[in-house]
Amino acid sequence: MALGFEIVAAEGNARTGRILTAAGEVLTPCFMPVGSAGSVKGMTPWELQAMGTQMVLANTYHLMLRPGAEVVAKLGGLHRFMAWEGPILTDSGGFQVYSLARLCRLEDEGVEFRSHLDGSLHQLSPERAMELQRQLGSDIAMVLDDCPPLPSLRSRLLEAVRRSVAWARRSRAAAGSGPAVFGIVQGGLELELRQQCLEELVVIGFDGYALGGLSVGESKAERDGLVAELAPLLPRERPRYLMGVGTPEDLVDAVAAGMDLFDCVIPTRNARNGQLFTSQGKLSIKHARYAEDESPLDPECDCPVCRNFSRAYLRHLYVAGELLAPRLHTWHNLHFYQTLMQRTRRALLEGTWAKFRREFLSRTKETEA
């Protein structure tokens, strides 16, 4: 890896495979802010780095449409293009096949879709997805997968598993000596199908394994139950990635199940809508009760937002529609997530995880400040 980033097998008291920097810093458990178009909305790379962000996620689908992977490659690759020095994981575009299903035609060869930007016709195959990610210069490339919505008929889930495994095999072959490649386990909420998919992916062999096809219509209880059963079955010596999940409580529960790597739009999207995460639970800054509240957003947070601004000021910015509002809200939420990951890593290393998890969930789960 050009940036001194590597995946190493578990050893000692490490519970799973780890992602390390050249200096030996453990990156997992790790939360990746979503920067689909090469930018985490409202945040500069140095601000992300200052709050402890170690890795970001970008999306092949969005970047292939605008500005184009070829353009990014010509300009020195995604790291240089977005001025981000840390590792970058790129999603292959498989989730967009699900979310933009009305614009797509799904076949065994690949996906034909119309751009949501201008209606132009494009094809995305496993080989093309890997080539695009190589042009972008990502450090971890995700295979192209078939992500069905939930609920789906068993016949559709069987089709998704068969197609995802076939595409994973083609993706692995096309990757060559490029970036690290993660396989994606599909199968809906059926543990048997998930196990079947996982077994076939392990035979192919990947640098890490992801649980995909979640947060697509199932309940939290259904998702948590599946993750708890499936996470221990993922190869222990490789990083385990839970895609598209979730709230701070979701992350803590998933770490307890054995997952290492996470991404989600919740901290940035909710910030733009005025929902903020604090040590006492969620807080909706738009509420009138904060209009004259001089206290910091979160008295236990040391981010610049909480050190410098009152709840009253943050509410004023939001109600007035000031551009600074989503910036500051996003800054705080991402800082909260990264601090949570730092505390999680420390608790795991110090053997205090059970106590940390119990206390964290007792203060934040299903509450609003």
Alpha-carbon distance values, 312 to 48, 62, 172, 335 (Å): 25, 37, 53, 20
Catalytic annotation, pick one of 91, 145, 207, 250: 91
- Contact yes or no for 279/300 (Cβ under 8 A): yes
Nearest to 18 by CA among 323, 301, 348, 271: 348
What the block records as the tokens of 321 is: 């529609």
Radius of gyration in angstroms for the set of CA atoms belonging to the chain, rounded to a whole number: 20
Residue 224 among the catalytic residues: no
In the DSSP assignment, the letter for residue 231 is G
DSSP letters for 126-157: HHHHHHHHHHHT-SEEEPP-----SS--HHHH
pTM, 2 dp:
0.94
Tell me the domain boundaries of the chain: 29-264, 272-364
Does the N-terminal peptide bond of residue 151 adopt cis geometry, omega within 30 degrees of 0?
A: yes
Residue with tokens 């409580």: 249
Q: In the CATH scheme, what is the code of domain 29-264?
A: 3.20.20.105
Alpha-carbon distance values, 70 to 37, 60, 65, 130, 178 (Å): 14, 12, 10, 13, 16
Adjacent-strand bridge partners of 284: 275
Tell me the residue type at 78. Answer: L
Measured in degrees and rounded to the nearest 5, phi and psi for residue 202 equal -65, -35
The whole-angstrom distance between residue 184's C-alpha and the CA centroid of its chain comes to 13
Catalytic annotation, pick one of 145, 263, 293, 298: 263
pLDDT in tens, the chain (369 residues): 344 567 776 544 445 566 766 556 667 899 999 999 999 999 999 999 999 999 999 999 999 999 999 999 999 999 999 999 999 999 998 777 667 656 688 899 999 888 888 988 889 999 999 999 999 999 999 999 999 989 999 999 999 999 999 999 999 999 988 899 999 999 999 999 999 999 999 999 999 999 999 998 899 999 999 999 999 999 988 999 999 999 999 999 999 999 999 999 999 999 999 999 999 999 999 999 999 999 999 999 999 999 999 999 999 999 999 999 999 999 999 999 999 999 999 998 899 999 999 999 999 875 666
Residue 91 among the catalytic residues: yes
Residue 44 burial (CB < 10 Å; 0-12/13-18/19+)?
Answer: middle
